[in-house]
Amino acid sequence: MRTIAIDAMGGENAPEAIVQAVLQAKTELKETKFILFGDQAKIKKLVGSDTDQIEIVGTTEVINDEDEPVKAIRTKKDSSLVVAAQYVKQGKADALLSLGNSGSILASGIFIIGRIKGIARPGFMPTLPVKNSDDGFNMIDVGANAKTKPEYILNWAKMAAYYAEKVRGIRNPRVALLNNGSESDKGDDVHQEAYQLLLDSELNFIGNIEGNELLDGKADVVATDGFTGNAVLKNIEGTSSVLIHLLKDNLLNSGFLVKIGALLIKNALKGLVSKFDVDKYGGAVLLGLDAPVVKTHGRSDQRAVYFTIKQVDKILKENIIDQFRAEFATDK
């Protein structure tokens, strides 16, 4: 039996979307138990009589976006996130899922659940869309760390490659390093050294990738420092959203015939938007912790949370944390 601890109070649509997603997922995941943390009365009402595989743990506090993460997890001891993380730490749950803010999830992960031996810093890893395939690619780190060392990048790449293979089913995933040029001597010291570490590793390292190539599907895993990764991830979101906004704007402010045209292409547009709907790829995994910790967007709806639950379940099923423990313990 796998047990997932779910912070039911994080995000804009909590707890409704989260509880609905659990109810949807549990009919498929018969081997999995869900512990929901949050407002006991509200959650109980949403769950109704369908209580199989579900446990509710009442908590009285919620960590908000305004809270300073490290302080919040130390002072809001009875928050849904902190109690859920404690359950994982104590072995009462195997994985943590939250829609809360990244900083607090990161702090809970590091200070409550703890790191895998041999991993100095965990990295946030989303799965992002690519142009001509439904596979997408994993990018790590997208912001758990502002400062990065070359060996962090190597370890993130190793974990992400293993994830891509086991969870996403990509055989021998192609690993690239985000850099400012294709040549091996590109980048600052950190990226030059990371390049050499990746080259000397067992990974299927295909060299550097540049910012304009990310969505082309050239790599299954893109390793990057958390500062650049954060800027680039947010920029993909921002640029996509501005373009789609401008397109809609252009269509709406045009003449009658164009509006007819817009109606006719509506579905094609929806296809495009869904391609860039990061939600369907599940959440961002915080790799390097002693249990799977997955964060999805605060604005996630039932469908997005449902996909993320399936993702967490798959991570547990593939037992990737045990693999990391073995890999990095012998590494040192």
Q: Are strands 133-140 and 127-130 parallel, antiparallel or unpaired?
A: antiparallel
**Tokens at residue 307, please?**
């996909």
The yes or no reply on residue 272 touching a copy of itself (CB under 8 A) is yes
Asked if 232 interacts with a copy of itself (CB under 8 A), we say: yes
CA-wise closest residue to 294 among 278, 277, 311:
311
C-beta of residue 10 within 8 angstroms of C-beta of residue 298 = yes
Tell me if 120 contacts a copy of itself by CB under 8 A: no
Burial of 253 (0-12, 13-18, 19+ CB in 10 A): exposed
Q: Least distance (Å) from a copy of itself to the CB of residue 293?
A: 19
Which residues from 195-214 bind a copy of itself, rule CB under 8 A?
210-214
Q: For 33, list phi and psi in degrees, rounded to 5.
A: -110, 145
Q: Does 70 bind a copy of itself (CB under 8 A)?
A: no
By C-beta, is 1 or 268 nearer to a copy of itself? 268
What is the smallest separation between the CB atom of 267 and a copy of itself, expressed in angstroms? 7
> In terms of residues, how long is the chain?
332
- The correct pick among 199, 263, 326, 329 for binding a copy of itself (CB under 8 A) is 263
**DSSP conformational letter for 181:** S
Instruction: Please report how many Cα atoms fall inside a 13 Å half-sphere around the Cα of residue 85, on the Cβ side.
Output: 29
Q: Residue from 276, 277, 280, 327 that binds a copy of itself (CB under 8 A)? A: 276
| Stretch binding a copy of itself (CB under 8 A), from 56-64, 142-150, 160-168, 318-326 | 142-150
Cβ distance to a copy of itself smaller for residue 135 or 327: 135
| 134 counts as binding a copy of itself under rule CB under 8 A | no
66 touches a copy of itself (CB under 8 A):
no
CB of 306 to a copy of itself, least distance (A): 25
CA–CA gap between residue 198 and residue 217 (Å, rounded): 19
Give kind and range of the element (H or E) at residue 130. strand 127-130
Helix (H) or strand (E) holding 204: strand 204-209
Nearest approach, Cβ of residue 13 and a copy of itself (Å): 20
Q: Is 146 exposed, middle or buried (0-12, 13-18, 19+ CB in 10 A)?
A: exposed
Q: Which of 75, 234, 329, 331 binds a copy of itself (CB under 8 A)?
A: 234
Map residue 169 onto helix, strand or coil: coil
The minimum distance between CB 29 and a copy of itself, in angstroms, equals 32
Q: Which residues bind a copy of itself (CB under 8 A)?
A: 131, 143, 146-147, 178, 180, 186-189, 191, 210-216, 224, 226-228, 230-247, 250-251, 254, 257-258, 260-265, 267-269, 271-272, 275-276
